[in-house]
Every structure is written in C-alpha cells, then in structure tokens.
Amino acid sequence: MGTHAWRNWRASLQPTTEIPARYEDAIYSDARFLGERLELGPYTILPTFASTAPMPVALVLRCEMRRSLKTGLIDHTTGKPLPADSSGYHGGTVSDELAALLSLALGVRCRAGGTVRVWGLPDDDPAGYPMELDRQHLSRPGPPGLEVLPNVVRQVEFADASDLLSTFPHLGSEDASALARAARLYANALWWANEDTNFAWLQMVGAVEAAAARRNEAGQQPLSTLEELQPRLWEALDGAPEETKQKVEELVVRQSSVTRKFLGFVENFAPHAPQPRPAFGLDWTRLRKHLRIIYDHRSRALHDGRPFPHPMLDKPMQGPDGQPSEVPVGMSAAAKGSSWMAKEMPMLLHTFEYVARGALLNWWHDLAPVVKSQPS
C-alpha cells in the first residue's frame, strides 16, 4: 500500500494533464536552513528566513496532490468490503511524513504545524488563499535554555538532504513505510528531548527498532533455539515436561530475537565514532554491551514503568576540551532518591542520537544505494 507521501510522489512520476490540488503547510524548526528551496517531486520546501525565535515557522512545505488519498472500504465492482490494510500507517499526514524525513536526513528538529495556504477554491486566485486549517501554533518544548541535544540546533543546507530524500519514491512500499515510521519516531525524539527526555529515549530506541524489524522481515533471519541462546537454562529444563520446555523456549527466544534484531541492526549500520574524540568519551569498542544495557532500560521503562537512569536524561557537560561529554561523568551518580553505577548509564541521549541517526541513514543508503551523497 505504501504511505500517503510515497504514493503521491510515485503518482507524480507519471505524466498527467490534470491540475493538481495544492496547499502549503507550516514547518517549525529551531535550525537555520540555507538554500533557495528544496524540490522533491510534488513537494517543495521553502525557507521563511524567520528571525531567531525559540521555535519559528522556519519552513513552508508546498504540496501538489497528484492522487486521492482516500482509502477505499468497498469494492465497487462486487459491493463487498475490501481487506483491511494498515501497512503504510504511521499516524501522521503527508506533511508530518515529509517533516520527519527531513528531520532524519539533516539531523534537526522539524514538525508540521498545519495549513497556511490553499489553491483551487471557487474563485481560483492564482496566488492561492491564506488559510488557518488545523493550525498548531507550536512553541519550543522544555525549559528555556535547556538543550539536551546540543548538536541539533545548527545551520544546515538543503543540498545535504536533496539526493537522499529524492530516493524515497524509488523504495519499495514496505521499505518506504518502515523508513517513514522510523523517521517519525526519530523526529518525535528530537522534538520532545528537552521536555521529556525519558520519552525521547523510548522514541529514539523505537526508531531503530522500526528499521530493524523491517530489515529482519526482509531478510527472514531464522530464530535461534533456546539451547543456542541460553544453554544453561536449557540444561536446567532437562527432565521438565515437553510442553513446559516449549513454552519457556517460545518466551525466551521471542524476547531474545527482539533484542538481537536491535543489536544486529546498530552493529551493522553504526557510524564511526565522531572525531575528534572528547575528553569524556564513550568506549566505542564496547558498543554492543552499551546497546544491550540501553535496550534493558527500554524494556524496564515500557514494562515496569521504571524510567531511564536520571543521569542519562541530563544535558552533556562541557569537558576541558570544550566538547560535550558523551557519557554521564563519574564512577556513580545519585538523583531523585536513587543511585546508579557508571556501567548502568553507558551514554547520554545526544550520543545515542548520533548512533541511531547514523545507523538509520546508512540503512537508508543501503535500501537505495544509487545516490550521489554519502552518509556522514
């Protein structure tokens, strides 16, 4: 089925004499965009050159709708209900999808804020009509002055995203849908990082999981057996009823498979450690161990209601070299009536954002290898 933005983009590749419906949506961002415009098939992204407000309408997304996005429920030839299909669902609009893909491609905050101009009303003014439709007047989430992700508020160029974004309509429908879902989760993590850093952690891990699930599905990697995963547990079950052994194996293998997909995806697509290395840097040779701890925190947060360790929610410290720390500093830390050892808090959110985005971009390049630019 594919996502709405993908289907419309694909439709625009076919010649037509019909005049498309057009509208413009506001895009909020605290990044500064360089470039006259970004042309992406039926979509054009225009900078507003907004002042340096905390979270201005920095971009306008102009959309040409080349096909109806209404989902049919009835087969009009037979009169019978059509099979349900939610394979392209990501919970947002075309503009939400494009904003998220741009957010992932450039590594900055972008969020759609509703329609500001439409064309095609009865008077048919060629300049369109100003409109306030489903407008969300957004403000910067989080306390003033707090920035958990110091590298996302920066100046970026449209040219750095153009080639990669242009591959989107050439992906298969399932790959495009998984990429859009991962991008939406990534963009949510960036948007809410200063307001609810624990939620941002969950969204960022979820972005990687969405991509890992699709990669695993496409590759159809076989599941391991309990004997392979946990031989000591398998030995302990020796003599247990076969039904009990099967139930235990099903539960353990299923959970281990989810973890392995996450770990395998990041290990396969992870970027190199950023250079130069900071004074308070992550030990990248132990990345798999760090990722396993992060995934354990994710599982506790979702299933036990226990948030990520508080030191992992902090903004980075400035090291003696002037670079932000990649890890919580110290052999241990205490906050909110609890304490943790250093091994329980392997990295800060901005470090994992670098890892997650790098892995997602490398996966995107792997899905569509014929592009001019390379992931950073």
pLDDT confidence of residue 223: 46
**Residues 144 and 24 placed together within one structural domain of the fold:** yes
Nearest-5° angle of CA 344, CA 348, CA 350?
A: 155
Is it the case that residue 335 has pLDDT exceeding 90?
yes
Domain presence at residue 227 = yes
Query: pLDDT over 70 for what percent of the chain?
Result: 90
pLDDT class of 375 with cuts at 50, 70, 90 = very low
* Angle, in degrees to the nearest 10, between helices 242-269 and 197-219: 100
Cite the DSSP H helix spans in 138-225.
159-165, 173-192, 197-219
Is it the case that residue 71 has pLDDT exceeding 80?
no
How many CB atoms neighbour CB 248 within 10 A?
Answer: 17
Q: Which residues contact 15 (CB under 8 A, 6 or more apart)?
A: none
**Residues 186 and 149 placed together within one structural domain of the fold:** yes
Q: How many CA atoms lie within 13 A of 362 on its CB side?
A: 17
pLDDT confidence of residue 74: 81
Is it the case that residue 148 has pLDDT exceeding 90?
yes
| Residue after which a domain boundary falls, among 195, 226, 259 | 195
pLDDT confidence of residue 69: 67
Domain presence at residue 278 = yes
**Residues 170 and 222 placed together within one structural domain of the fold:** no
Is it the case that residue 122 has pLDDT exceeding 70?
no
**Residues 174 and 304 placed together within one structural domain of the fold:** no
pLDDT confidence of residue 231: 66
Domain presence at residue 309 = yes
**Residues 26 and 158 placed together within one structural domain of the fold:** yes
**Residues 336 and 300 placed together within one structural domain of the fold:** yes
| Residue after which a domain boundary falls, among 195, 226, 244 | 195
Average the pLDDT over 84-110 and give the result.
Answer: 93
pLDDT confidence of residue 198: 98
Domain presence at residue 357 = no
Q: Which residues of 182-213 are buried (b: 16+ CB within 10 A; e: fewer)?
A: bbbbbbbbbbbbbeebbbbbbbbbbbbbbbbb
Domain presence at residue 294 = yes
Radius of gyration of the chain (CA): 23
Of 16 and 36, more confident: 36
**Residues 254 and 169 placed together within one structural domain of the fold:** no
Residue owning tokens 């201005």? 56
Domain presence at residue 58 = yes
User: For 167-206, what is each residue's pLDDT tens digit?
Assistant: 999 999 999 999 999 999 999 999 999 999 999 999 999 9
Is it the case that residue 215 has pLDDT exceeding 80?
yes
Write out the DSSP string of 160-177. Answer: HHHHHHTTGGGS-HHHHH
Is it the case that residue 29 has pLDDT exceeding 80?
yes
Domain presence at residue 374 = no
Query: Which candidate, 172, 188, 171, 184, places its Cα nearest to that of 210?
Result: 184
User: For 272-315, what is each residue's pLDDT tens digit?
Assistant: 999 999 999 999 999 999 999 999 999 999 999 999 999 999 99
**Residues 191 and 224 placed together within one structural domain of the fold:** no
Lowest-confidence segment of 124-128, 207-211, 269-273 by average pLDDT:
124-128
**Residues 274 and 167 placed together within one structural domain of the fold:** no
pLDDT confidence of residue 16: 78
**Residues 11 and 128 placed together within one structural domain of the fold:** yes
User: For 160-171, what is each residue's pLDDT tens digit?
Assistant: 999 999 999 999
**Residues 117 and 257 placed together within one structural domain of the fold:** no
**Residues 60 and 175 placed together within one structural domain of the fold:** yes
Average per-residue pLDDT for the chain: 89
Domain presence at residue 206 = no
Of 325 and 241, more confident: 325
Q: What is the domain extent for residue 287?
A: 217-351
- Is 94 within 8 Å of 69 (Cβ atoms)? yes
Number of domains the chain contains: 2
